[in-house]
Structure 1
Amino acid sequence: ECGSDLAAPSGGPVTSPNYPSNYGNTEDCEWRITVPEGSIIRLMFDTFDTEDDIDFLSIYDGADGSTPQLQRLSGRQPVSPITSTSNMMFLRFTSDFSVTRQGFQFSYISNAEGHCWDPGVPANGNRDDNSTSFAPGQTVRYTCMTGYQLWGTANITCRTTKTWSDAAPTCEIPGTTECGSVLTAPSGGPVTSPNYPSNYDDDENCEWWIMVQEGSIIRLMFDSFNIEYRHDFLTIYDGASDSATQLKSLTGQQTVSPITSTSNMMFLRFTSDHSATRQGFKFSY
């Protein structure tokens, strides 16, 4: 539906109208989230795709649009969790009279002041503590299911700053070859082009988003790189999308020096044309 009042301590998924089909023209939707006093709210997005710089989701740190704005989101992007400073949050989504996209899907949780947020459980993994609220000094221990490799830190501890000592790890199949993914472990890899070490296909269009803990930066390291020269490209951006500063546009067969971001996000896009393929590439970060 187009807006609602949400009063449960946690909720979702909540979506834009018609999701996963496209939302309509001239939408004007408002959501108000209210949780128990003494708690704060964390908003988490599964997907976000609106008409870039035209259709917006604005998020406010309070009961209405007169309170401080936390984020104003537009375009296609991964969205890091957004946290309030009080027990209320207000969201407003508007679209113009033409061009629509799939929209967005979010959920939210709340937590008592002074505690760490639930760090989550990785897909294909487990943890030893299923609490939903974590006091300073409390440690969570992670393991992966058989056949999966743990990337990141196995044990993380809630600090007095209400943050975890590290991000939750991920559980990956060694040598992941899918065409794009969202990578959130503090370190990861190997990540490869499709079919690696066999040749990738014609007309590939793969996108990887790397997001690490705020305050950190990313170093990308390649073990191999071989794509069709001046026809197939891997482009690397210093941020969450292709609107960020371009760090490198790679093509051909070459040795690639480490590439470093200036923030906690990096975006990679690989494209191939309609003929002639090569082995591709393999990287870690």
Structure 2
Amino acid sequence: MFAALLTALIFASAFNDVSSVNLCPDGWTFGNETSYCYQISQRYMTYAETDSYCQTIGGRQAFIMSTKELTFFSYFTAGMFAQPWLAITRNTTTNVWHNSDGTTAFSTWWTTGEPSVNGDCATFKSTDKAGMKATPCYSVQPAICRQMPALCPTTTNYGGSYSRTGTIKSPGYPDQYYNNLDCWYVINSPNNTYITLQFSPYLVERTFDYIQAYDGPNDTYPYLGKTDEYTNPRYDFESSSNVVSFKFHTDKTITNNGWLLTWNAQVYSAPINQTGQNGTFTSPNYPDNYGPYTEQLYYITAPDGFHVNVTIDDFLTEARFDVLEIYNSSTVLPNNLVANLSGNATVPWSWVSPYSYVTMRFKSDGSVQKRGFEGYWFITFP
């Protein structure tokens, strides 16, 4: 009883040195350096009892994963009478110390004179040089337990039956997101629409922190892609229906400012297909203003062996946000983008496709609408 009371008093003084936010369950302390929640047991136990104890309160027994966590443990346990267990043991055959996940314990994280032959389990010593200390496994010590914090937003569903646009921020944006995240987001839009996602700005740790998008409400639906593909990073995604979801994953080390997502619900419009020797095209409703959240595709196909000459002689859209894309391909292929016309583009604008086909796509957002564009095309010999 006395030992438990003494430990509780020591813990209270140690907790005062730690920044506490409402990211952890009652009785747990958030480590700003590590983005984990921690609790030191008031109960004393042998090493064999520690992990099962931690699991009963929602965590797992902790070991040192990084220099930042070593620093955190040094003041989290400062002034403690007892040295708490770490999830580290010695392989008595190889004499190698391992963390509970099978990785090798970092050799420079031992306290002075350690590891000794005094035990095959490890505790944490905060005095002198803070670090790990070999301790007999039958010794009776408190446990350090660790669990994931509630860092993801409590709101996971966005949009709705009448929502056409919105923004979503990464946790902590624009200051800094946390480590150890797997946050899910689901966006819904009105029927007969599809959703475009644009992450800008997008400032995360390369390779290890990323977003994965899915063409539906969860990861059982078709995979749309990943922001941090090694050879072809991307920050724009497009669903095929009025539901899209994505997961933001971060690892345990480096963070950055994060990201801002702008999403829009686009209206389905039947593609305009034109063939033959010549034709004309306009933006929807031209010369009146086009509508908000519009996407219109134009497919032009000339006879085999001919090229397509495209000319636009009137053009006015909302600069930067309402765009006419022109491709030298038979469908929308980012690598075949020839022109991206927006605002008060210089007209007449002309271009000859090196092939017998041209694809154009016009997209508008929800804010400002203008009269759009008018153009014509005809076939030419190579």
TM-score by length of 2: 0.34
TM-score by length of 1: 0.44
Which of the pair has more CA radius of gyration? 2
In proportion to residue count, which structure has more helix? 2
